[in-house]
A and B are shown apart, each in its own frame.
Chain A
Amino acid sequence: MKILIRNGRVIDPASGLDAIQDIYVAAGRIVAMGQAPADFHANHEIDATGLVVAPGLVDLAVRLREPGLEYMATLESEMHAAAAGGITSLACPPDTDPPLDEPGLIEMLKFRAKNSPGPRVYPIGALTWKLKGERLTEMGELHEAGCVAFSQADTPMANTQVMLRALEYASTFDLPVWLRPQDAYLGKDGVVHDGVVSARLGLPAIPVPAETVALQTIILLVRETGARVHFCRLSSRAGVDMVRKAKADGLPITCDVAIHHVHLTEMDVADFNSNCHVEPPFRSQRDRDALRQAIKDGVIDAICSDHAPVDDDAKEKPFQESEPGITGVELLLPLTLKWAREAGLGLADALATITSKPADILGVDAGRLAVGRPADLCLFEPDATWTVSEKSLRSLGKNSPFLGHELQGRVRYTVIDGHIDYKAN
């Protein structure tokens, strides 16, 4: 398959390229940009006039709900939704049922993903057996099976001895560990930020120290071991300050934020909107503003969707009994563009947070437009507006706090491995 993408505004955040150019794709790779290579006969042409041609999005947290949680969503449905969101590479956390703690499960997931159209799938293995925080998994074996990193997903680790050894063991193989900083006791059973809304609605609360105490512990252990750690889903201003300082000290750490935390605060929970029940919780406006600033400063490296499709039955419950999580793959791009417009940031800088930077964290060849690179592309119309609705979302999870919102930025084509994987109607 040879594709000519004609006349688009090509933006490659990593190199700073931003120009109207043609892109030539053959055998799954970008073979030329600007000038046509000799003897190039396209099987297919895309007129990208008025579209931005960007690297395909790289999403650091997408739950495909397989194995075991197919009542919420299926691998096929969520791969399709991700492609429709312009995502061409995704990492899936190990919080499946059973958790991704055995090589066989990784092989099965890779096999399922390979045989289904959609993004490239990079599994994150469980750091401990059953995510219980007690016994290490066979990280060497899991890595050979295809795991690119190891994580506890949303399960906190109480035992600091196990944490230290897990970091040491992972770093033996030079494997990164992804951790959501979350104390095992502070905020246990909590469902919202410990702030004005929890005071008013009487919902069990999760205080900021639930994040910062864990962050401090992990940072000290990184200092001790030199292990590579990626912090997932920062939520607080105090947490951002700690990461800023640790990075300035030269520690080998990176971090991400979920796109919904860039936009929402605890106030959005009001009236018990269970679509705002998420881990970590939405915090105060000061916290949100600090997250936004930190992305701009580069303290936060990447934005992810933290995609968690949840079925209606699990959401239509009293707030504290509802399943946490937000569906997000289809909103990652428009919500990132919205933030960039509000923050006065250029397209290239905004796109870096969802393409080249997360690709670097994953350690895979993705998120860049250059000759010889994989032909993973996202073509979008930056100014097209659309309204988020249950119907407009392809994900089986309709659990979005943005339902009814009008957003700007619509994916028109997603090209993965040189094939047009998604084309908007």
Chain B
Amino acid sequence: MSRNLQLTEDGKLRHLLTLDGLPARILTQILDTAESFVSIGDREVKKVPLLRGKAVFNLFFENSTRTRTTFEIAAKRLSADVFNLNIATSATNKGETLLDTVANLSAMQADMFVVRHASSGAPHLIARHVAPHISVVNAGDGRCAHPTQGLLDMFTIRHYKGGFHNLRVAIVGDVLHSRVARSQIHALTTLGCPEVRVVAPRTLLPRDVESMGVHVHHTMETGIKDVDVIIMLRLQNERMQGDLLPSAGEYYKHWGLTPEKMKLAKPDAIVMHPGPMNRGVEIDSDVADGKHSVILPQVTFGIAVRMAVMSMVAGSGA
């Protein structure tokens, strides 16, 4: 899909809106670039001048502290000037349209918009309307995509497993409402992972999820059997009781990741979670903090991956 919108005519990354349709070449380039940024965090001076003089606007139409902060850190390490706008609490509540908000901020000499929005496709809409020198990076839109999260997960998997070609990966939980899961699935299938599973009750899976190239499992017993990677998804509080699920307790019993269930996976399996975790709902504390868990390194890698994306889109020839 968004291939043309996301890439420049000579095939460089122009915007990052979704991993759906991005070629493996670009995904790998982002991961390789991120590799070179990982060590910057360990240096005395944690800065490189790649985005010096560039104005990066964090446009968060939906609240987020964690993702916004990691984007801010990434931009600052690239020496950009960062402006945070919590639009969830300002202009659009006064009736301004999304495109008017963007036009106004463009007039403030923005170079890059990092956008989070509750509606799927909002970053695409912005990308179609911004001036040619402005790049858009999707920080999560509706249920559609969270491409930097998907990329940092790929970075983590590659870091611990060396690659994707012999892996079995299970994504467990609320795939239906998850932009993270969609980005992970697109990235894994593009990067050549031979078996991607989704594990959830039917109420939490899109009807035609198999069309995305995944195998469907409804139980943990079959779903995480012999897998190399387990990715747990966050279950939103409002979905724990109602017409999707009867209770958090029943969910935990069937789909929560416990030390006993971990034994089904390969002995060297890694456990990931995009955060924030619901301990005792989708994951047991002993697993979250245990030897298989790579949840905290994910966060660290997230900064390097976002630096890579921002430096690439800013350097796409604008």
Q: Which residues of A contact B (CB under 8 A)?
A: 194-196, 198-205, 207, 270-272, 313, 316-321
Point out the residue from B2, B98, B143, B211 that lies within 8 Å of A271, measured CB to CB.
B2
Is A202 a contact of B182 with CB atoms below 8 Å?
A: yes
Minimum CB distance partner of B209 in chain A: A199
Is A199 a contact of B206 with CB atoms below 8 Å?
A: yes
Is A201 a contact of B144 with CB atoms below 8 Å?
A: yes
Is A200 a contact of B119 with CB atoms below 8 Å?
A: no
Nearest Cβ on chain A to B128's Cβ, whole angstroms: 9
How far is A205 from B122 in the complex, measured between Cα atoms in Å? 17
How far is A352 from B145 in the complex, measured between Cα atoms in Å? 46
How far is A145 from B2 in the complex, measured between Cα atoms in Å? 51
Cβ of B116 under 8 Å from chain A: no
Point out the residue from A202, A207, A271, A318 that lies within 8 Å of B117, measured CB to CB.
A318
Given A194-B208, A202-B143, list of 11 further CB < 8 A pairs?
Answer: A194-B207, A196-B211, A199-B212, A200-B182, A271-B1, A317-B97, A318-B122, A318-B142, A319-B119, A319-B120, A320-B120
How far is A272 from B207 in the complex, measured between Cα atoms in Å? 19
How far is A202 from B120 in the complex, measured between Cα atoms in Å? 7
Which residues of A lie under 8 Å from residue B97 when comparing CB positions?
A: 313, 316-317
Is B124 a contact of A271 with CB atoms below 8 Å?
A: yes
| Per-position 1/0 for B82-112, Cβ under 8 A of A | 0000000000000001110000000000000
The 7 closest A-B pairs by CB, nearest first: A202-B143, A318-B119, A272-B121, A199-B206, A202-B144, A196-B211, A318-B122
Minimum CB distance partner of B177 in chain A: A202
Cβ of B153 under 8 Å from chain A: no
Is A207 a contact of B2 with CB atoms below 8 Å?
A: no
How far is A313 from B129 in the complex, measured between Cα atoms in Å? 13
Nearest Cβ on chain A to B186's Cβ, whole angstroms: 8
Is A320 a contact of B119 with CB atoms below 8 Å?
A: yes
Minimum CB distance partner of A208 in chain B: B207
5 residue pairs from A and B, CB less than 8 Å apart: A198-B206, A200-B212, A270-B1, A317-B119, A321-B119
Q: Tell me how many residues of B have a C-beta within 8 Å of chain A.
A: 29
Cβ of B125 under 8 Å from chain A: yes
Which residues of A lie under 8 Å from residue B1 when comparing CB positions?
A: 200, 270-271
Which residues of A lie under 8 Å from residue B129 when comparing CB positions?
A: 316
Cβ of B179 under 8 Å from chain A: yes
Is B207 a contact of A207 with CB atoms below 8 Å?
A: yes
Which residues of A lie under 8 Å from residue B208 when comparing CB positions?
A: 194-196, 198-199
How far is A201 from B19 in the complex, measured between Cα atoms in Å? 11
Which residues of B lie under 8 Å from residue A201 when comparing CB positions?
A: 120-121, 144
Cβ of B5 under 8 Å from chain A: yes
Cβ of B72 under 8 Å from chain A: no
Is A272 a contact of B212 with CB atoms below 8 Å?
A: no
Number of A-B contacts (CB under 8 A): 78
Is A318 a contact of B179 with CB atoms below 8 Å?
A: no
Is B119 a contact of A199 with CB atoms below 8 Å?
A: no
Minimum CB distance partner of A312 in chain B: B99
How far is A320 from B5 in the complex, measured between Cα atoms in Å? 20
Is B209 a contact of A318 with CB atoms below 8 Å?
A: no
Which residues of A lie under 8 Å from residue B177 when comparing CB positions?
A: 202
How far is A324 from B211 in the complex, measured between Cα atoms in Å? 26
Point out the residue from B124, B142, B182, B212 that lies within 8 Å of A320, measured CB to CB.
B142
How far is A207 from B207 in the complex, measured between Cα atoms in Å? 9
How far is A201 from B20 in the complex, measured between Cα atoms in Å? 9
Given A194-B207, A200-B212, A202-B179 in contact, is the A317-B120 Cβ separation under 8 Å?
A: no
How far is A205 from B124 in the complex, measured between Cα atoms in Å? 19
Of B122, B143, B208, most A-chain CB atoms within 10 Å? B208
Point out the residue from B5, B120, B206, B212 that lies within 8 Å of A318, measured CB to CB.
B120
Of A198, A201, A316, A319, most B-chain CB atoms within 10 Å? A201
How far is A210 from B181 in the complex, measured between Cα atoms in Å? 27
Which residues of A lie under 8 Å from residue B179 when comparing CB positions?
A: 202
Minimum CB distance partner of A192 in chain B: B120
Point out the residue from A194, A200, A272 that lies within 8 Å of B124, measured CB to CB.
A272
Which residues of B lie under 8 Å from residue A205 when comparing CB positions?
A: 206-207
Minimum CB distance partner of A314 in chain B: B97
Which residues of B lie under 8 Å from residue A272 when comparing CB positions?
A: 120-121, 124-125
Given A272-B124, A318-B117, A320-B119 in contact, is the A202-B207 Cβ separation under 8 Å?
A: no
Is B99 a contact of A200 with CB atoms below 8 Å?
A: no
Is B124 a contact of A317 with CB atoms below 8 Å?
A: no
Is A316 a contact of B144 with CB atoms below 8 Å?
A: no
Nearest Cβ on chain A to B95's Cβ, whole angstroms: 11
Nearest Cβ on chain B to A321's Cβ, whole angstroms: 6
How far is A321 from B122 in the complex, measured between Cα atoms in Å? 10
Which residues of A lie under 8 Å from residue B141 when comparing CB positions?
A: 318
Minimum CB distance partner of A321 in chain B: B119
Which residues of A lie under 8 Å from residue B98 when comparing CB positions?
A: 317-318
| Per-position 1/0 for B1-14, Cβ under 8 A of A | 11001000000000
Minimum CB distance partner of B2 in chain A: A271
Which residues of B lie under 8 Å from residue A319 when comparing CB positions?
A: 119-121
How far is A174 from B233 in the complex, measured between Cα atoms in Å? 57
Minimum CB distance partner of A272 in chain B: B121
Which residues of A lie under 8 Å from residue B99 when comparing CB positions?
A: 316
Is A202 a contact of B142 with CB atoms below 8 Å?
A: yes
Which residues of B lie under 8 Å from residue A317 when comparing CB positions?
A: 97-98, 119, 125
Nearest Cβ on chain B to A402's Cβ, whole angstroms: 19
Interface residues of B in 155-206 (CB under 8 A from A): 177, 179, 182, 206
